[in-house]
Amino acid sequence: MTSRRRFLWACLSGAAWSTLPTRSTTAQSFPKNPFATRGVVLVPEDFTLADWPERAKNAGLTTIALHHQHSPQAVAQWVRTDPGRQALEQCRKLGLEVEYELHAMKELLPRNLFAKEPNWFRMNEKGQRTPDANCCTHAGQALDIIAENALTIAKTLRPTTGRYFYWGDDGLPWCLCPRCRELSPADQAVVVENRICKALRTVNPKAQLAHLAYDNTLTPPTKIRPDQGLFLEYAPIHRRYDIPYEKQDLSQADGLPALDANLKVFPKDTAQVLEYWLDVSLFSKWKRPAVRLPWRREVFAADLATYRKRGIRHVTTFAVWIDADYLRQFGNPDFIAEYGQGLTAI
């Protein structure tokens, strides 16, 4: 990196990031006031790049979260395989936290229950009950089943942080029955999350559960109060990545006003941003072959400053499809180190 680039990068980030971490970098070499959570979210297939844990540690990251492209069950199956066990053991040895970020509703309320209990499932705009997505949040028995199955999943997929992520179905509708329709998608999500968190706290009194502000739940809840154990996870998937977030047109999707509105409902000190800076799958439009990541360090640095000044202390990003195939096609993903460097700078 030239002196001019180094100077620009430091100015944009608000910190003097003079060198990039190397493979020998240790956690002790980083500043004392980094973001508290510095993470990546991966799918099991990404561990074809077998040294992902070492790369994360050398970059100064704290956390690897496992996601899925099919279902949480696929993650549960993978952690029982030899590669899964080896990856988790590497994380343990390196002192990396492990979490599980899951669109879990189809496992929490299995779709095969619809035949016997259609009222547990959402009503669509035509007034019909359907098992296509989420649930009816006024079906008390359904919430009991959801909470029970959340505890079952937690026995296999146990985060080392005590933070759990059981999201609704990916961007799909919530219930429009006469009782639920008075609640926004975010309010309905909080109904389910409060019930799950209550169950989790019977076995772990300090358990925390994410409220995913994303797509149709990006607007914060207004009628249902989040319980104390819920924390905000803000995921602006529809924002632009060619310009800094703060410069995005406020009339465009997923603008910063949505984050500010959520931070009036959820505590700032536990709020987490779930970004897409390293998400090769998103920039590839979720189709193989993968494209080269359009890594824009200036945008990233400006975004970090935007989040930091709002009091955000927890930051992670999807890094899906940064795998062995990506390495073969495009060479070493040096931007992992630059991402970590940004998060560890004061």
CA dist 137 and 226 (Å) reads: 15
Q: State the pLDDT confidence band at 346, using cuts at 50, 70 and 90.
A: low
Q: Domain limits of the chain? A: 37-91+235-346
261-282 pLDDT tens trace: 999 999 999 999 999 999 999 9
209-227 pLDDT tens trace: 999 999 999 999 999 999 9
Indicate the pLDDT class of residue 32, thresholds 50, 70 and 90: low
- DSSP symbol at 209: E
Question: What pLDDT is recorded for position 253?
Answer: 81
Strands (DSSP E) found in 67-189: 97-103, 163-167
**What pLDDT, on a 0 to 100 scale, did the predictor assign at position 6?**
40
- Do residues 238 and 215 make contact, with C-beta atoms less than 8 angstroms apart? yes
DSSP 248-294: S-TTSTT-HHHHHHHTTTS-TTT-EEEE-TT-HHHHTTT-SSPPPP-
Calculate what percentage of the chain has a pLDDT beyond 90. Answer: 87
Is the pLDDT score of 179 beyond 70?
yes
Contact 254, 246 (CB under 8 A): no
